[in-house]
Structure 1
Amino acid sequence: MQLNPDCVSIESILFDAMVKANAISKDNSEDPKKSAWMRAARTDKGVHAAGNLLSLKMQIPTDYDIVERINSFLPDQIRVWGYVPVIRSFHAKNLCDSRVYEYLLPTCAFMKPIPKELTDTPTNEDDIMICNNDPVNPIVKYATRSTPEVIQQRHDYRATKEQLETFATALKEFEGTHNFHNYTNGKAFNDKSANRYIMSIDVSEPLYIDGSEWVSIKLHGQSFILHQIRKMICKYI
């Protein structure tokens, strides 16, 4: 979403379309001091949003439908759904009162771990090399990646009802207000910003994608901190 120099992004394409549609004047778009600044309820790297809310200064011509006009300059995979006039201080990211995240988890994560054997020499060309980065006493070992047989086992794996019930019950313990300093980076236990309010966490019935089994985990919270959700889920796997 973010606008970066010499980089194609959703924001850069949307900004150009809005200029062409006269939602942002061309003069203002070329002057950094006057140009509209889009502020988004953004997502982190690796996270996908079904939709995004932007706040910005824009012109609204009265002689045509501005939404339809903007969409005419956008590729099919990017659409503007509408606009609402707001107060000048409105900020899409900071004034969001809650967020819903959906995390898809393959149920093969519940399989018993398959121990990896470390060897002094590689046994396959795609082995993982593990080293201690010690220039004085370097230690290098190799671990084999998953074999085709293990990959097939994961694809065919089906979680039991008891496993899913235990997992869902465990995640319910996170509901309410808790200190999540151990679920992120760089926050001390007495840092008040580590306190977060989780309204609900729900685990779906199994669903199947290309023959493998997954569950959907929906988390509704006031706000989240870096790595919090993935560490919450991994804690009970």
Structure 2
Amino acid sequence: MEPSIESEIFKALERTRLLVGDIKESNYSRCGRTDKGVSSTGQVIALFLRSRLKTPSIDSEAHANEKINARPEYDYVRVLNRALPDDIRVLGWSPVPVDFHARFSCSAREYKYFFWRQNLNLSAMDIAGKKFIGEHDFRNFCKMDVANVHCYTRRVTFFDVSPCQNSHEGDQLCTFTMRGSAFLWHQVRAMVAVLFMIGQGVESVDVIDTLLDTKKTPKKPQYLLASEIPLVLRTCEFENVNFICSSGALESLRSHFKKESLTYQLESVIFQEALRNCLPIGNDEISCNIEEKKKKAAIHVPLLSRPTEPSYEERSAKLKPRQEETCPV
């Protein structure tokens, strides 16, 4: 089986003997499901771990400072990071109540999607993106999982598109920032895909309203998702949860991330060097490339004129009746 972040974390837990019992007995839960290729700087998991304290407190500060009749708590961040691959790191930990669930106890999630500005119309994408704010049925902006999900209403609380500090050869790096209480499978990548069409000028800003109106548009038009690589689950927020990281572990984290960042920048320089060594493009080839781009733009099929996927009702009719689901908006 191909390694995953989850499998690597459990390998580290077993290697460090921090796991209580086996995986099934650990009461494991995770906040978000990220697709293969998607990154996260704020994913949260919950599970039972070994503790040095006889009666652990659910208060983070009390737990961190408790020294009476007990040895200091394990430095979970430092211990686990020593056993994890370089591209996986634990940033902090916190004691929580026994009934805490990483997914259902989460109050908000924030995603960022990075992209190069190129010739995209940021203003149009910002206007369109703000139409997502509020409580809507996002069935036309996700991959339906009718076997497990019966309610596609979700609440987006914030949307913004803005330039970043990074640039390359005159092209500005930009980012979409989206916040909400919960998101559907592939929802962010679907939203971004449509926003890119609007930014390219091949779709109207109003197409967002039409796709969110599931009475007018009960079936999702067929379109490709945006790439998973620039997508980052940035934060998962919880009430009364304060993450702990020792000063030593924090210093190690900063040193590690700085080293990794420099390594990836060096790799980028190598690709830039290879690009400079490419043979120059002749005028005829430039003209051909321009014409080819114009042809691709000309053959764009409007979203509302495309073939559609089966509706939720058509999909669910093929399955046995299931209990109604409460919307995690």
Normalising by structure 1, what TM-score? 0.61
Q: Is the 8 A contact 2:108 2:179 kept in 1?
A: yes
Q: Work out the CA distance in 2 between the residues paired with 1:58 and 1:85.
A: 10
Q: Work out the CA distance in 1 between the residues paired with 2:172 and 2:14.
A: 45
- Name structure 2 gaps, 5 residues minimum: 54-70, 200-329
Asked if 1:9 corresponds to 2:4, the answer is yes
Superposed structure 1 runs of 4+ greater than 4 Å apart: 206-209
1:92 corresponds to which of 83, 102, 106: 102
- Name structure 1 gaps, 5 residues minimum: 1-5, 109-157
Normalising by structure 2, what TM-score? 0.46
SS at match of 1:177: strand
Summarize the alignment of residues 1-237 of structure 1 with structure 2, pairs less than 5 Å apart. Answer: 6-24=1-19, 28-29=21-22, 34=25, 36=26, 38-42=28-32, 43-61=34-52, 63=71, 65-67=74-76, 68-108=78-118, 158-159=119-120, 163-186=121-144, 193-205=151-163, 208-211=166-169, 212-235=171-194, 236-237=198-199
String of CA shifts for 1:48-95, please: whole Å, max 9, x gaps: 101321111111125463323333333444333332222222111222
Q: Is the 8 A contact 1:21 1:70 kept in 2?
A: yes
Percent identity of equivalent pairs? 28
Aligned to 1:153: none
String of CA shifts for 1:20-75, please: whole Å, max 9, x gaps: 333225xx34xx664x2532223122321013211111111254633233333334
String of CA shifts for 1:87-143, please: whole Å, max 9, x gaps: 2221112221111111123334xxxxxxxxxxxxxxxxxxxxxxxxxxxxxxxxxxx
Cα 1:210–1:81 change in 2 (3 A) is same
Cα 1:7–1:173 change in 2 (3 A) is closer
Q: Is the 8 A contact 2:30 2:46 kept in 1?
A: yes
More strand per residue: 1 or 2? 1
Choose between structure 1 and 2 for higher RCO, CA contacts under 8 A separated by at least 6 residues. 2
Q: Work out the CA distance in 2 between the residues paired with 1:83 and 1:206.
A: 30
More helix per residue: 1 or 2? 2
- How many residues align? The count is 173
* Root-mean-square deviation (Å): 2.8
SS at match of 1:218: strand
Give, in angstroms, the shift of residue 210 of structure 1: 3.7
String of CA shifts for 1:123-182, please: whole Å, max 9, x gaps: xxxxxxxxxxxxxxxxxxxxxxxxxxxxxxxxxxx45xxx32222112111111112122
